[in-house]
A and B are shown apart, each in its own frame.
Chain A
Amino acid sequence: MGQHYDAIVIGGGHNGLTNAAYLAKAGKKVCVLERRHVLGGAAVTEEIIPGFLFSECSYVVSLLRPEIIRELDLPRHGLEILPLDGTFTPMPSGDYLWRMNDHGRTVREIRRHSRIDAEAYEEFSKMMTPMCRFVKPILSMIPPDPTTLKPKDLKQLHFLLQRFRDLSSDERYTLVQLMTMSAADFLDQWFETDVLKATMSASGIIGTFLGIRSPGTAYVLLHHYMGEIDGAFRSWGFSRGGTGAISNAIAAAAREAGVEIRTKAGVAKILVKNGRVRGVALTSGEELTANVVSSSVDPHLTFEKFLEPNELPGEFLQDVKRYKFRGSSGKVNLALDGLPELKCMPGEGPHLRGAISISPGVEYMERGYDDAKYGHYSRRPYVDMVIPSLTDPSVAPPGKHVMSCFVQYAPYKLAEGSWDEQREAFGDNVIDTLSEYMPNLKKIIVGRQVLTPLDLEREFGLTQGNIFQGELSLEQLFFLRPVPGWAYYKTPVANLYMCGSATHPGGGIMAAPGRIASQVILKNWKRAN
């Protein structure tokens, strides 16, 4: 019989590490178990091509909660966020749309395309601020149970209702729309410029298997908008050394608090005895015991792989099976020995330091979705690109660069063939798409890594390749995430908890689930032990 811990955390991703750090800070003896040889899960940096450090999966810091940065003192542990300025959208016409952090310049740029939109953009930004303010506290709250009449839950529900009623009529109108509409329909009300609507709506589909015309995507748009609203570029940026550096900073904070972190320690089973968690068995056969097990991996792995069906209520298991992953995106990471030349704005410049978005039009985006609906990757995909080496030279050899390309759509289930057969064709298709805007791209590529949804599943443990551990669709949010009745980080197995992106408030490098889960675990500690 192996070692005993107060708490074992399954998965060394940013949420697992955050969860462990908070538990240890509360004086618990904690062990984090990571299957891979590196920490970070999907927030990881690896040297895939010698000399080139890829942020393999997630590539920008969006919504990392300020309170976590503060409470874990992450800057002291090496976290350094570098600015990511703006989004540059090249257009086939040779024109472009360039939105920058500088609001004034963005408005002037939009005026080039449409005076009306420039004015609307001012209005729009003004309106989004109270929207984000409304949602923010929700990101740090334990979802209430809408089906009970328990005072605690009623209080929270009333709190939400009251906040809604405190909004002005126009704010309510917009909020309701954001919660229910499609990103495209929502933006149609504000803007007329096609490329502007396409680029803005793009953030509404990331990580979902929805099109920009599908209701519910307006919410995801808000979900991603919040980073920008935070103002200080602390929220939208690169982390020096790649996104892995974020995980490493959290890991350092955790270690300092006394957490034991083990890599190459894949979990095979969660051990349960009379409905109570006992510990875990590793793939190596080693067994570790603990009073509490907190799983940061997704519900499919936690409940269908690590547990036996007879250890869970049938109805719960059915809901877990029903939970939608539906990975819809892939990643192409490129090692370059020069900089890409944009047709519409040749030469080096600040436009290369921000995100470059291939989202030339609303119909382009929607057709990309149609391909995916019928089991084919988008023939002309939406691509979100960054060149972190321009801002953080440490990730590439001198004079050379890395380019990270997030690609949607890439459906996990293909109508024909397997992803192993399609991988290179998929990669080529992305390069061809980009080459239409960056003619010199093919010449400067010295190495590439193509990650399909299947790779995300096999290598990073993201079931069906969903980067958020489950779709961010309305029926899987808040008190429905991951499954109805179990959106409170607890599980039907006593002392087994969830702390990953599959729990409220969901994906992105937010670390909020890990933090909220730790609060729940600690609150229940006495009762449980």
Chain B
Amino acid sequence: MPLGQKVIVVGGGHNGLIAAFYLAKGGFKPLVLERRGMVGGGAVTEEFHPGFRVSSLAHTLGPLREDIAADLQVEKFDCEILRPDPRMFAPTADGRAILFYDDVHKTAGGIARISAKDGEQYPKFAKALEEVAGVFAQLSLITPPAIDKPTPEDLWNLLKTGRGVRKLGKKRIFDLLRWGPMAAADFAAEFFETELIRAVIAARGIFGTALGPWSAGSTAVLLMRAAADANPVGSAAFVRGGLGKFTNALAEAARAAGAEIRTNAEVAQIRMKDGAVTGVVLADGDEIAAEAVVSGADPKRTFFNLVDATQLDPRFAMRIKNFRMNGTVAKVNLALGDLPAFPALAGTVGPDGFRSALSGRIHIGPEIDYLEKAFDASKYGGYAASPYLEMTIPTILDPALAPEGKHVASVYVQFAPYKLKNGNWETQRKELGQTVMKTLAQYAPNLPSLVEGMQVITPKDLETEYGFTGGHIFHGELALDQIFTMRPVLDWARYKTPIRGLFLCGNGTHPGNGLTGASGANAAKEIIHELR
């Protein structure tokens, strides 16, 4: 395919935009088609209550993989990244709390006040995590190898990874093999004795998944995330003006590189002939011809909604059908008249420290069993009376999101199953909101009285409004059988699909790990290689 050819990118989410950027750099003419009125997909800023704006879904950065950040240089496009320190505040209902800072030893100091042993363990844990995360970071850079006929590049990548692994030394290699399939609860317990710390650490292995801390394999998810940021609690990075500003900057970077981006342009169908892509049809009937289409949409949407499924190889279709992507996450955004007061902070920081203590992520899930019980309910199609919550109050660092002196709180709710046993999400919407308020009130009693407005985004909304099939925010369950060479399915984990000219670049592909841009960048590399 000659350079300068048009490549259509379906979906203006962060992976689609990053893919478009690299395709443009690679000499192609990407055209990004976004269904909604704004780019960003799961990373957008919207006004949910008069005068109150928030990052409706994702509320912190991945963060962006370093090489990608360096290539796109988003800060050049009006995107100021705000880094709270502490990154996380984790309270218990009975008034204890731990703050997790960038500085491991500062954090350890705070932990030591609750448990001297855990205080000592924390730096060791951080180090162990950093060591093994290196391997996963290496893996997130590469296209999963072809099993039958590995290309020279595959072999080279595997060799590099192999070297990285061997550098770990015998003990760590065994740790890696042991930890991967383990339950995050067991993993955390290997290092820590305090429930609160165990819960905070384990939570990273279950966020956004249909796994509880006692589910085997949740440690693999945790380690994959550590690859993006080796800090034990992960990243907490905001963007001034919300994450919409971030994806707008991605769009600007892509445009600057030569990409064209259209919003309010819903792709209704991906056209194909004789097993090859010929273009797309928009919802308004317009047809755009192209020899290559890159889908940022999730695998099920791509193959069952956009492509004529009857033209798929039944074996492939079966595997895509088996791809598990029933979401467990809901989102509640609150407009607050003032900053909520957390009594647990009184014993933790001085009065001056209150604001900064709340400026990062707030973890509600003080015990392993608490998290597990929140998960249990979802197995039977319900949600727990005390769900696992992750809240941020972005207005502390970015007051402009709300009217003078007021605040917004952005709350992730787990576990909220896509399929409810009783009723549907329309009837449950209100209750879910109330459940979240009741839960938060146990940690910040005055919070309910501060609420001026509330938006509840149910798993169903995630599907209908934001296009996540099954409401799964990661475009598919992160589990041992759906990662690396199995993401989305074995034999087709290299961004190519059985349809000539059709590629995937979304989170449904390796490494598919939130707002890191890795899927988009890796895909673009393969696509350019394929099309040239």
Known: A215-B215, A215-B479. A165 touches B174 (CB 8 A): no
CB distance from B482 to the nearest CB of A (A): 9
Please tell me if the beta carbons of A173 and B319 are within 8 angstroms of each other in the complex: yes
Please measure, in the bound complex, the distance between the C-alpha atom of A33 and the C-alpha atom of B153, giving whole angstroms. Answer: 57
Chain A residue with Cβ nearest B381: A363
B420 at the interface (CB under 8 A from A): no
Known: A189-B322, A473-B181. A373 touches B479 (CB 8 A): no
Residues of A within 8 Å of B177, CB to CB, are: 146, 475, 479-480, 484
Chain A residue with Cβ nearest B483: A180
Please tell me if the beta carbons of A180 and B217 are within 8 angstroms of each other in the complex: yes
A315 at the interface (CB under 8 A from B): yes
Please tell me if the beta carbons of B178 and A180 are within 8 angstroms of each other in the complex: no
Residues of B within 8 Å of A324, CB to CB, are: 186
Please tell me if the beta carbons of A146 and B173 are within 8 angstroms of each other in the complex: yes
- Which residues A370-403 have CB closer than 8 A to chain B? 370, 373-374
Known: A165-B148, A176-B486, A216-B181. A147 touches B216 (CB 8 A): no
Please tell me if the beta carbons of B173 and A147 are within 8 angstroms of each other in the complex: yes
Residues of A within 8 Å of B486, CB to CB, are: 176
B70 at the interface (CB under 8 A from A): no
Please tell me if the beta carbons of A176 and B491 are within 8 angstroms of each other in the complex: no
Chain B residue with Cβ nearest A322: B190
A3 at the interface (CB under 8 A from B): no
CB distance from B94 to the nearest CB of A (A): 20
A169 at the interface (CB under 8 A from B): yes
B480 at the interface (CB under 8 A from A): yes
Residues of A within 8 Å of B380, CB to CB, are: 363, 366
A440 at the interface (CB under 8 A from B): no
- Which residues B208-242 have CB closer than 8 A to chain A? 211, 214-217
Chain A residue with Cβ nearest B218: A215
CB distance from B125 to the nearest CB of A (A): 15
- Which residues A155-207 have CB closer than 8 A to chain B? 164-165, 169-170, 172-173, 176-177, 180-181, 185, 189
Residues of A within 8 Å of B480, CB to CB, are: 180-181, 215
Residues of B within 8 Å of A475, CB to CB, are: 177-182, 216
Please measure, in the bound complex, the distance between the C-alpha atom of A180 and the C-alpha atom of B179, giving whole angstroms. Answer: 14
B496 at the interface (CB under 8 A from A): no
A267 at the interface (CB under 8 A from B): no
Please tell me if the beta carbons of B322 and A474 are within 8 angstroms of each other in the complex: no
A214 at the interface (CB under 8 A from B): yes
B369 at the interface (CB under 8 A from A): yes
- Which residues A473-525 have CB closer than 8 A to chain B? 473-475, 479-480, 484-485
Please tell me if the beta carbons of B178 and A176 are within 8 angstroms of each other in the complex: no
Q: Which of A170, A173, A214 contacts B216 (CB 8 A)?
A: A214
Please measure, in the bound complex, the distance between the C-alpha atom of A164 and the C-alpha atom of B216, giving whole angstroms. Answer: 24
CB distance from A328 to the nearest CB of B (A): 13
Please tell me if the beta carbons of A147 and B170 are within 8 angstroms of each other in the complex: yes
Residues 162-195 of chain B, each 1 if its beta carbon lies under 8 Å from chain A, else 0: 0000100011011101111111001000100000
Chain B residue with Cβ nearest A363: B380
Chain A residue with Cβ nearest B211: A215
A353 at the interface (CB under 8 A from B): no
Residues of A within 8 Å of B491, CB to CB, are: 169, 173
CB distance from B401 to the nearest CB of A (A): 40
B526 at the interface (CB under 8 A from A): no
Residues of A within 8 Å of B179, CB to CB, are: 475
Please measure, in the bound complex, the distance between the C-alpha atom of A475 and the C-alpha atom of B480, giving whole angstroms. Answer: 13
Please tell me if the beta carbons of B174 and A474 are within 8 angstroms of each other in the complex: no
A300 at the interface (CB under 8 A from B): no
Residues of B within 8 Å of A181, CB to CB, are: 479-481
Known: A475-B181, A475-B182, A480-B177. A215 touches B490 (CB 8 A): no
Please tell me if the beta carbons of A172 and B490 are within 8 angstroms of each other in the complex: yes
Known: A165-B147, A176-B490, A474-B181. A374 touches B369 (CB 8 A): yes
Please tell me if the beta carbons of A215 and B178 are within 8 angstroms of each other in the complex: no
A292 at the interface (CB under 8 A from B): no
CB distance from A192 to the nearest CB of B (A): 13
Residues of A within 8 Å of B183, CB to CB, are: 214
Please measure, in the bound complex, the distance between the C-alpha atom of A6 and the C-alpha atom of B183, giving whole angstroms. Answer: 43
A269 at the interface (CB under 8 A from B): no
Residues of A within 8 Å of B372, CB to CB, are: 373
A252 at the interface (CB under 8 A from B): no
Please measure, in the bound complex, the distance between the C-alpha atom of A180 and the C-alpha atom of B479, giving whole angstroms. Answer: 8
CB distance from A220 to the nearest CB of B (A): 11
Chain B residue with Cβ nearest A473: B216
A210 at the interface (CB under 8 A from B): yes
CB distance from B149 to the nearest CB of A (A): 10
Please measure, in the bound complex, the distance between the C-alpha atom of A147 and the C-alpha atom of B169, giving whole angstroms. Answer: 8
Please measure, in the bound complex, the distance between the C-alpha atom of A181 and the C-alpha atom of B490, giving whole angstroms. Answer: 14
Please measure, in the bound complex, the distance between the C-alpha atom of A232 and the C-alpha atom of B319, giving whole angstroms. Answer: 33
B472 at the interface (CB under 8 A from A): no
Residues 293-323 of chain B, each 1 if its beta carbon lies under 8 Å from chain A, else 0: 0000000000000000000000100010010
Q: Could you say which of B148, B174, B175 has the most chain A C-beta atoms within 10 Å of its C-beta?
A: B174
Q: Which of A147, A216, A370 contacts B217 (CB 8 A)?
A: A216
A213 at the interface (CB under 8 A from B): yes
Please measure, in the bound complex, the distance between the C-alpha atom of A479 and the C-alpha atom of B177, giving whole angstroms. Answer: 10
- Which residues B450-498 have CB closer than 8 A to chain A? 479-481, 486, 489-491
Residues of A within 8 Å of B315, CB to CB, are: 169-170
Chain A residue with Cβ nearest B321: A189
Please measure, in the bound complex, the distance between the C-alpha atom of A322 and the C-alpha atom of B186, giving whole angstroms. Answer: 10
Please tell me if the beta carbons of B379 and A366 are within 8 angstroms of each other in the complex: yes
Chain B residue with Cβ nearest A190: B322
Known: A147-B173, A215-B181, A370-B376. A180 touches B481 (CB 8 A): yes
Please tell me if the beta carbons of B174 and A215 are within 8 angstroms of each other in the complex: no
Please measure, in the bound complex, the distance between the C-alpha atom of A366 and the C-alpha atom of B181, giving whole angstroms. Answer: 20
Residues 489-524 of chain B, each 1 if its beta carbon lies under 8 Å from chain A, else 0: 111000000000000000000000000000000000
Please measure, in the bound complex, the distance between the C-alpha atom of A408 and the C-alpha atom of B376, giving whole angstroms. Answer: 19
Please measure, in the bound complex, the distance between the C-alpha atom of A413 and the C-alpha atom of B158, giving whole angstroms. Answer: 44
Please measure, in the bound complex, the distance between the C-alpha atom of A57 and the C-alpha atom of B486, giving whole angstroms. Answer: 40
B361 at the interface (CB under 8 A from A): no
Residues of B within 8 Å of A210, CB to CB, are: 216
Residues of B within 8 Å of A374, CB to CB, are: 369
Please measure, in the bound complex, the distance between the C-alpha atom of A215 and the C-alpha atom of B219, giving whole angstroms. Answer: 12
Please measure, in the bound complex, the distance between the C-alpha atom of A302 and the C-alpha atom of B504, giving whole angstroms. Answer: 53
Chain A residue with Cβ nearest B147: A165
Please tell me if the beta carbons of A480 and B178 are within 8 angstroms of each other in the complex: yes
B324 at the interface (CB under 8 A from A): yes
Residues of B within 8 Å of A373, CB to CB, are: 214, 372
Chain A residue with Cβ nearest B215: A214
Residues of A within 8 Å of B180, CB to CB, are: 475
Please tell me if the beta carbons of A177 and B481 are within 8 angstroms of each other in the complex: yes
Residues of B within 8 Å of A146, CB to CB, are: 173, 177
Please measure, in the bound complex, the distance between the C-alpha atom of A177 and the C-alpha atom of B173, giving whole angstroms. Answer: 23
Q: Which of B171, B214, B369 contacts A315 (CB 8 A)?
A: B171
Chain B residue with Cβ nearest A476: B178
Residues 77-103 of chain A, each 1 if its beta carbon lies under 8 Å from chain B, else 0: 000000000000000000000000000
Known: A146-B173, A215-B480, A363-B380. A484 touches B178 (CB 8 A): yes
A-B pairs with lowest CB-CB distance, top 7: A484-B174, A474-B181, A180-B480, A215-B217, A180-B481, A216-B216, A475-B178
22 A-B pairs whose Cβ atoms sit less than 8 Å apart in the complex: A147-B166, A147-B173, A173-B491, A176-B490, A177-B481, A181-B480, A181-B481, A185-B324, A189-B322, A213-B215, A214-B216, A215-B181, A215-B216, A373-B214, A473-B181, A473-B216, A475-B179, A479-B177, A484-B171, A484-B174, A484-B177, A484-B178
* B→A interface (CB under 8 Å): 147-148, 166, 170-171, 173-175, 177-183, 186, 190, 211, 214-217, 315, 319, 322, 324, 369, 372, 376, 379-380, 479-481, 486, 489-491
* A→B interface (CB under 8 Å): 146-147, 164-165, 169-170, 172-173, 176-177, 180-181, 185, 189, 210, 213-216, 315, 322, 324, 363, 366, 370, 373-374, 473-475, 479-480, 484-485
Given contacts A181-B480, A324-B186, A366-B379, 14 further A-B contacts (CB under 8 A): A146-B173, A147-B170, A180-B181, A180-B479, A210-B216, A215-B181, A215-B217, A216-B217, A363-B380, A473-B182, A473-B216, A475-B216, A484-B177, A484-B178
